[in-house]
A and B are shown apart, each in its own frame.
Chain A
Amino acid sequence: MRRLLAVAALSLRSAVRSKVLLALAVLLALAVVAIPLTVEGDGTLEGDVEILLRYTLGAVNVILSLAAVWSGCGTIASEIQDRQITMVTTKPVRRIEIWLGKWLGLVALNAVLVAFAGALALALLQYRVRGDGRSADDVRRLRDEILVARAELRPEPPAAAAPRAPGGGPDIGRRQEMIVPPHGRREWTFRLPARRRDGPGALQFVFSKSRVDLEAVRGRWVFSGGPGPAVTVEGRYAPQAVQRVPIPPDALEGEVLRAAYENAEDGDLSILFNPDGGLVALAPTGGFAPNVLRALLILLGRLALYSAIGLAAGTLFSLPVASFAAVTAALLLHLTGHIHAMAQRTRYLDETRPPTAARVAAERFYAVFYRALDLAVRPLEREDVLARVSTGREIRWRAVAAAAGADVLLYGGLLALAGAGVLRRRELGRPA
């Protein structure tokens, strides 16, 4: 362990002495400060905050991702090229200790930079939201509705399922449960998390209506479930747009929240809430800063994986080849959705052309290739944590643990074993 830590400290020291740390810190500071000045929000408080967080932390993520891949490649490939690695491998240190030490050093470097950029972005956010002469109401909204972490709750399946259309499968049944008929009423139950904090919640919904136009409709939300009386919120809501209504704090004090929608529109207009996330209750569960911390930890886990990819490539190839290979591998991680979609397809080639032996073989190859690739990268698929944190949606510790498990322990560990194996087999003393 002492040797591993010594190698890690050496990597970190190298980054400091070679001004890599300084250069990246300056670049991150420029990105964090300059981007909010150049990108306009939608004029709302929420929009400003989202822009500030999502764009700045997004830029930070891009910069650090590229730096992680590149520094991973350079750390070991340049040492092999310059032969410094021979001074270490001739000492009583195992190759896995060298590899893990380098990795740990890079992760520490990324941790410093992520912490720096995160702190800077939060400081800037505080300055922006307080320094623009916000009203007391704005400040309250910021505190209670934007700069918080709120759990996303989906409606529980009804105990007695609503009658389904004849011959309808589960999807049709689910759609039935989201329809509010003309002048009708439908109630949904949301199970509230055990850990909550005081503050208002919100119900977020998207719906379509049976008449195809974008005219707003009248309706009433009735919230109950807490110790107090039911609270009704009446309004006009636009279809095909994300709408939010506040949930009174009282309704969030029980074990469940009940939200009923009463269709108050004249005529025979039905309302269909989007079955896929068209009805979400947001209940406050934690503070904003811990939520940002969890988001940054997930980003750090991904940076650790990028560093591991760079290191593995740098162990195997010279610096130019390693850089290309590692960037390609890192890009694949951004295409997990596309890869999954391709793996689901049954045909890859033009169906109108007659099947030949070559075309059949190609179809098989594509199917196996995409399914194998999907299998390999599927555990690395992540929700956009920056989108979550910038819209006040909770990132759970479970998500952090899952990301750390997949990115760092599983894939990072596999890359470490592969990298150390290559380092062990490779003849580091070969003439140049």
Chain B
Amino acid sequence: MGFNRGMPNERDDRAIEAESLTKIYRDFWRRPRVRALDGLAFEVRRGEVFGLLGPNGSGKSTTLKLLLGLLHPTAGRLTVLGAGPRDVRAKARIGYLPEESYLYPYLSADETLDFFGRMFGLGGAERRRRADELLDMIGLRHARRRAVGEFSKGMARRIGLAQALINDPDLVILDEPTAGLDPMGCRQIKDLILALGRRGKTVLLSSHLLADVEDVCDRILILYNGRAQATGTIRELLEERTRVRVTLPELAPEALRTVLRHLREALGREPDVDHPRRDLEAFFLETVEKARRAAPGAPSGAAASPGLAPYLVGAPPGGDGRAAGSPASGAGGGAAP
């Protein structure tokens, strides 16, 4: 068992490396109770969006907590950004959004971001700038003076996300980031993840929402009983090489009959034909956007976001860096520095 305790190794292109990682939870008398991880090995490359999937109790949260130094491995080796997970130099480059928003309820949104900015040693002016930009990004500028304890779960989640990004991290660890968020918030998170990935940031995402993971991740790891069951790119794992889908614009009935006849002859059986459907998320976002345009005004909850925080897309202080797409646009792009 052990961490890499040496100097962070910047030349290594692996942001995270786990070898034979085992975690056994013991009771008060040190008797083993649960083997949460069992010889897990995986790596996450720098600039990659990596998804950690698995049913409840499969070891996802344990893995994240080991990466953050909140648990100690029973056996195995773990390196995060070239250093041990408890190395403060590595922590300075990590942003973490936990599954629940463990925020101080008596602090306002502003104070929360200011406090965590101080934890990263940011100067006063920089903290204020980043807090302003993040509050704009998460659509809570109007609620910046309200105590976080008065926030809805979704609003608290947004503040949790903002604090995870206050240090412009190289590695972002998100545990169920869309839990408690409305579809717009989910879309925004996904846009953010994509934008961060485009900026060369490494994102480690743990989620139950498979569609979300599929939308944003380059590679995934599926855990079950503390062991890796499958790992690879989304395309490698999901592509069915034995089937082909052809999407056509709407055809005249005669043309369609001709195409189907040819397909029937080629396949030797009746092909499956239907109309493609839009996904519900896109439909919902479009509907809400229409409603918002029809009835403008200050929302009671999270407001529409103008885009990603400029400092996250590499914009200089005071510059008009709000180049990233709005959540509704689904672009999240323009995010390249």
Q: Interface residues, chain A, CB within 8 Å of chain B? A: 2-3, 6, 10, 13-14, 17-18, 82-84, 86-94, 427-431
The 5 A-B residue pairs with the shortest CB-CB distance in the complex, in nearest-first order: A429-B70, A17-B106, A429-B65, A6-B118, A91-B119
- On whether the beta carbons of A13 and B106 are closer than 8 Å, the reply is yes
Stretch at the interface among B43-51, B97-105, B138-146, B292-300: B97-105
Contact indicator B88/A92 (Cβ below 8 Å): yes
B107 at interface by CB-CB < 8 Å: yes
Given A13-B106, A84-B102, A84-B103, answer yes or no on A92-B71 (Cβ-Cβ < 8 Å): no
Contact A91 B91 (CB under 8 A): yes
Q: Residue-by-residue, is B74-102 near A (CB-CB < 8 Å gives 1, otherwise 0)?
A: 00000000000000110110101010101
A27 to B201 alpha-carbon distance, docked (Å): 53
Give the CA-CA distance A90 to B174 in the complex, in Å: 13
A87-B116, A92-B91 given. 6 additional CB < 8 A pairs? Answer: A3-B121, A18-B106, A82-B102, A83-B98, A87-B98, A90-B68
**What residue in chain A is nearest B114 (Cβ atoms)?**
A6
Closest to B57 in A: A431
Min CB distance A423 to B, Å, is: 12
Q: A2-B118, A90-B68, A428-B70 are in contact. Are A84 and B104 (CB under 8 A)?
A: yes
Q: A13-B107, A92-B91 known; A86 and B70 CB under 8 Å?
A: yes
- A86/B106 in contact, CB under 8 A: no
| Contact (Cβ within 8 A) A427 B72 | yes
Distance to closest chain B CB from A14 (angstroms): 6
- Partner of B92 from A18, A86, A92, A430 at Cβ < 8 Å: A92
Most buried by A among B89, B106, B119: B119
Minimal beta-carbon separation of A83 from chain B (angstroms): 4
**Are A427 and B70 neighbours in the complex by a CB distance under 8 Å?**
yes
Are A90 and B25 in contact (CB-based, < 8 A)?
no
- In the complex, A431→B64 CA distance in Å? 13
| Complex contact A3–B102 (CB within 8 A) | no
25 contacts between A and B (CB under 8 A): A2-B118, A3-B119, A6-B118, A10-B104, A10-B107, A13-B106, A17-B106, A17-B107, A82-B102, A83-B100, A83-B102, A86-B70, A86-B98, A87-B102, A87-B103, A89-B69, A90-B70, A90-B91, A90-B96, A91-B120, A92-B121, A427-B70, A428-B70, A429-B71, A430-B25
Interchain nearest-CB distance for A120 vs B (Å): 27
| B163 within 8 A of partner (CB) | yes
**Residue in A6, A14, A18, A83 whose beta carbon sits within 8 Å of that of B119 in the complex:** A6
Q: Could you tell me the distance in whole angstroms from the C-beta of B245 to the nearest C-beta in chain A?
A: 43
CB nearest neighbor in A for B118: A6
Known: A10-B104, A429-B65, A431-B25. A88 touches B119 (CB 8 A): yes
B115 within 8 A of A: yes
Known: A13-B107, A428-B70. A86 touches B120 (CB 8 A): no
* Cα–Cα, bound, A93→B121 (Å): 9
Q: Which of chain A's residues have a CB closer than 8 A to the CB of B94?
A: 90
Q: How far is the CA of A188 from the CA of B131 in the complex (A)?
A: 73
| B111 partner residues in chain A, CB cutoff 8 A | 13
CA distance A399 to B98 in the complex (A): 49
Q: Could you tell me if A430 and B71 are in contact, using CB atoms closer than 8 angstroms?
A: yes
| Docked-complex contact B106 and A93, CB < 8 angstroms | no
> What is the bound-complex CA distance between A92 and B107, given in angstroms?
21
Asked whether A14 and B104 contact (CB < 8 A) given A90-B69, A427-B72, the answer is yes
| Alpha-carbon distance between A3 and B91 when the two chains are bound, in angstroms | 14
Is there contact, CB below 8 Å, between B25 and A14? Answer: no
Q: A3-B119, A3-B121, A84-B104 are in contact. Are A93 and B98 (CB under 8 A)?
A: no
Bound CA span A83–B160, Å: 13
Tell me, rounded to whole Å, the shortest Cβ–Cβ distance linking B36 to chain A: 9
Which residues of the other chain, A, contact B103 by a CB distance below 8 angstroms? 84, 87
CB distance from B13 to the nearest CB of A (A): 23
Closest to A425 in B: B72
In the assembly, what is the distance between CA of A17 and CA of B100, in Å? 22
Q: A6 to B120: give the CA distance in the assembly, Å.
A: 11
Closest Cβ neighbor of B163 among chain A residues: A87
Closest to B149 in A: A17
In angstroms, Cα B156 to Cα A84, docked, is 13
Give complex CA distance A2, B119 in Å.
8
Docked Cα-Cα span, A13 to B104, in Å, equals 11
Least CB distance from A109 to B in Å reads 14
Closest chain B CB from A101 CB (angstroms): 10
A14–B68 CA distance with the chains assembled, in angstroms = 26
Nearest B residue to A98, CB-CB: B119
A6 with B92, Cβ < 8 A, contacts A84-B102, A91-B120, A430-B25 known: no
B25 contacts A89, C-beta separation under 8 Å? no
CA distance in complex: A92, B65 (Å): 15
